Amino acid sequence: MRKILLVVFLALTSVGPSRQYVVAQTQYYSLPNDNSNCPANCRQIPWSAGSDVWNGGTLPVYPTGTSCTGLTEGLQVTTDNTAAIQACVNSTTAGHAAVLPAGIYYMNGTVTLAAQKVLRGAGGGPGCQGRWLNGADSTDTWDNPGGSSNYWGDTLAVSSPAACTTTLYMGATGNLFSGWGGDIGTLLSLTGGYTKGSTAITSATNPNSVGISANTWLFIAEQADTGIPVSAVACSYCGLPSPNEGTYFMSQIAQVTSVAGSGPYTINLSRPLYYTFQSTFSPVIGAMTEASNVHEGVENLIIAGVSGTNSARSVPNINWQGNIESWVKGVQIYNVSFNNNEYGIFCQYCYGNEFRDSYIHFGGGSGGNGGGANYCFGLLGSNSDNKIENNICREDRHALILEGGGSGDAFLYNYTDDLYDASGVGSTDTYINNARGTHGAHPYMILWEGNVGSNFHADYVHGSASHLVLFRNWFWGDSTGNRFNWAADGAAGSLWDYVGLEIDYDIHYVSAVGNVLGTGGLPGSYHAKWSSGSVLPSCPGDTVASSPAAYLFGCDVNGAVTQNASGAVDTVARSSAILHGNYDYVTKGVAFWDGGSNHTLPNSLYYASAPSFFASCAWPIAGPDLSSITNTLPAMARYQGSSACSSGGTQPIVITNLQVTVH
């Protein structure tokens, strides 16, 4: 049986001569959500992120304000267009777009965006999969090895060559920036109201005395809760911005709607609190004193790195600091640099932003692809209610990464694949990589839903995390591509990340429901052999292709235990987790039904119905209750150049008959 439906019919005969019936209702499995019983049983929030919070679920459409002129176009031109583009943005009035004409424009400086303005390229279309700079670097296809001399041995499949016709060709310092100083005002101690679900907090001190009033954006935080636990390792950017970093790693951003009273004072909030703080850990609020980067956007552009200067870059292509309710959509970012602090899109101390319909891929060169380099999306420090949806990330080191704290962010229906680590090009690639969900202290109440990709890893490299929710994702525990040197690298090239879901020590209260882990099999000796895999092996346990794992819990990064202060496996990582209805390709069934006997899963924890970009695609995309186990993700279909929802290409085989096993 694929699905257990609990239905109730109730007949009432006492109301007149005719009978009335209550319509049958399906009782869906739900995660524990007792706001008064944290940390174990408070695992959900009223998920709402990006434009769903502030604009009814749609992004604003700004009309053209200024058509940019005075630009020098051409691939070989070295004239810097930074000043001309900046002048175009500056001359555009609020509520309008500065529109760049079709062409390729070299840019080797910072263009600073402004509130209520959009920088838009000519053309459009999801992900701007179109015009390329160099055919030898057109590296993305669906597992089509050989036949080319470029780095990945693949050629580009383009569904709509005219989809995006404006390219910013970035030099060593080229970037689109919007930011603030990164400071917050004097911290104000809270005296009450800091419980999960509350929208009214109190203080004995007048908030106006520290610059807090209606419409102020706040950081709400407490010091490290040792009971979860909350901790950081060499992470100066975790927690609150300077000068109040301290140990305030667990935080939320919300806006003040009003201030009332005369001691105690009541500060009313735009969103309910996502966790119950404790007086023991000194809950505080602080104002984002320079949060003026509101309602601005970047749309329909290609941003590409110049190969000759790529090794000199150490700045994100889109670099946002403290942005509020802003967006990036329809952007392609190619040839992301491989130096530290290099991201396709970077957002620090951001609230309510939306990053969607974009395509960020490839980072390589003589400098390698090591730590801190070539990330697709990066959220740093405290962030709340940001929405990352319907994007493609390929050939990055990590794809969707939280470096630092924050809460309420939603990663929805993204496609991530062929992520890798390298200390150099070619023979020195060492392992397939992962989306790296958490990488710093202390994100909590974060939702990953409907994503498809190589694997998911919440690590303890720079700190702890808790209350992560993963729902109906498909994590292969492999890479679908054909990295030509993996087999040649032998054991070193075969190690690490052949695991579907990896949760390190001190990552507690994770909820994974209805996910699919593994594949039906990919060709090649270096791909995972799920028939000889394990459901939940013990640590240490580097997962190699010949013995992949559906889960790893409580280990150190990449399966060891040496970084754990106690030198032991963290058993609480697993015992505090809820694993309910996750299909794995080791058992070809469901190994765990933690947390209740009701196995009927809702379609979504975020949406009431399929989001519009699914069009005719089946929804949801993954789960043990689907006859196909997995369906086609729109972002993957877009990458494959397919306008239909048929699988096509060489999509991994799926098992069509559910077998339930219990461990």
Within 8 A by CB and 6+ apart from 449, the residues are: 410, 411, 412, 413, 469, 470, 471, 472, 473, 604, 605, 606
Angle at 306 between CA 303 and CA 312, to 5 degrees: 110
Please give the pLDDT value at position 134.
35
Q: What is the pLDDT of residues 278-323, one digit of tens each?
A: 999 999 999 987 667 899 999 988 888 776 566 667 788 899 999 9
User: What parts of the chain have a pLDDT lower than 50?
Assistant: 1-23, 125-163, 365-367, 423-428, 484-494, 562-563, 565, 646-663
Is 41 exposed, middle or buried (CB count within 10 Å of its CB: 0-12, 13-18, 19+)?
middle
Q: Name the strand (E) or helix (H) holding 636.
A: helix 634-639
DSSP 8-state assignment for residue 348 = E
* Cβ(251)–Cβ(220) below 8 Å: yes
- pTM of the prediction? 0.89
CA nearest to 129, candidates 301, 298, 332: 332
Query: What spatial distance separates the first Cα and last Cα of the chain, rounded to whole Å?
Result: 18
CA nearest to 180, candidates 331, 287, 26: 287
* Cβ(299)–Cβ(61) below 8 Å: no
Please give the pLDDT value at position 164.
55
Q: Which residue has the tokens 């991994």?
A: 652
Which residues, listed in sequence order, are joined to residue 184 by a DSSP beta bridge?
288
List the structure tokens of 141.
């296809």
Please give the pLDDT value at position 259.
97
Helix-, strand-, coil-residue percentages of the chain, each rounded to 5: 10, 30, 60
Domain ranges of the chain: 61-180+292-361, 188-287
Q: What average pLDDT is seen over the chain? A: 80
Which residues, listed in sequence order, are joined to residue 579 by a DSSP beta bridge?
512
Q: What is the pLDDT of residues 85-115, one digit of tens each?
A: 999 999 999 999 999 998 888 999 999 999 9
List the structure tokens of 144.
């089509």
Q: Which residue has the tokens 């004995």?
A: 204
Which residues, listed in sequence order, are joined to residue 251 by a DSSP beta bridge?
221
